[in-house]
Amino acid sequence: MSSPERRPRSLREVVFVDGVRTPFGKAGPAGIYAETRADDLVVRVIRELLRRNPALPADRVDEVAIAATTQIGDQGLTLGRTAALLAGLPTSVPGYSIDRMCAGAMTAVTTTASGIAFGAYDVAIAGGVEHMGRHPMGEGVDPNPRIVSEKLVDPSALVMGSTAENLHDRFPHLTKERADAFALASQQKFARALANGKIGPELVPVATRSAEHGWGVATVDEPPRPQTTLEGLGTLKTPFRPHGHVTAGNAAGLNDGATGCLLAAEDVALELGLDIGMRLVGYGFVGVEPEVMGVGPVPSTERALARTGLTIEDIGLFELNEAFAVQVLAFLDHFGIADDDERVNPWGGAIAVGHPLASSGVRLMTQLSRQFAERPDVRYGLTAMCVGLGMGATVIWENPNWEGFQQ
């Protein structure tokens, strides 16, 4: 008996349909989400994606991938699956969790997108959450003693702020003054974007609970400090090293928040009448010395560019995660981009709005997609971030609104 003939397979274009996020909060007992569960933040994001895209039947979602760096408590229990059930998706929709530290949501996107391109899925939800108030980075972990005893990495590699100080040491021209100036610009750009309505449409209002104050609604980001001045930044302490460079002002804070996005095969998006915010071009993940993890986006971007046949000159918009100002400056210097280049984080970045670890990748993508809609002169954009334990992550996207397609 002959075997049935195997169906020929070709890769499909993958598109970013829509992205949303909760307002980001400050971690800790005074933060807006101090008494709100992490999984409830994810549920709110999933429900909002479905509400904003009514042309998508819930049973057409083939996968839910949700990232969290600290997978414990209300960030554990196979979060993608539990959040899908809690959000009211059909029981037939599977889900799973991802951990690549800060690049968790970015990895959720690239992993599910690869499944769509391969033909395993048509539609997926990808995102991330981090409730750093409930679950500080490293809670419950038990690092193998060999890591330190056999000197596989320097002990500073386990403290992200120390790795940023190491980056200042490696590149002494990346001064504290440059880092502070970049941080100030991030705050100013975010404040302008907020005032001009650029920040806000992607936000999902979240009901919050406080035993002391009762119920409330989170509608705006908590971390931004629009009153920041260069003089004020210069007076801040350097907690990771006496007379160091890294401060609470030129680094992202400790934050709570969730993000999510809809991904689909382009032909399926057209079939269902879904919007196409941007097309996936390619991506790259690399490892670097954990002691200087902030340099990671440099080789990951080089890899992504090489694999896609593009150059840095082809990139018209950059959304770079500002875990630390020095990390972004190292990227810009390597590629010959000015600190104040208008293509870079035009609406501000994580120094202003916050960095709830595993969720941040989709925030970068959502902002890039919305910028594409306003910039038909730009064909390609890039989202990139450094990743704890010495990694870099880069995803390149194409603007479907590019004016060159019309010629």
Active-site residues, by number, are 102, 355, 386
Residues 30, 295: Cα–Cα separation, whole Å: 33
At 186, the amino acid letter reads S
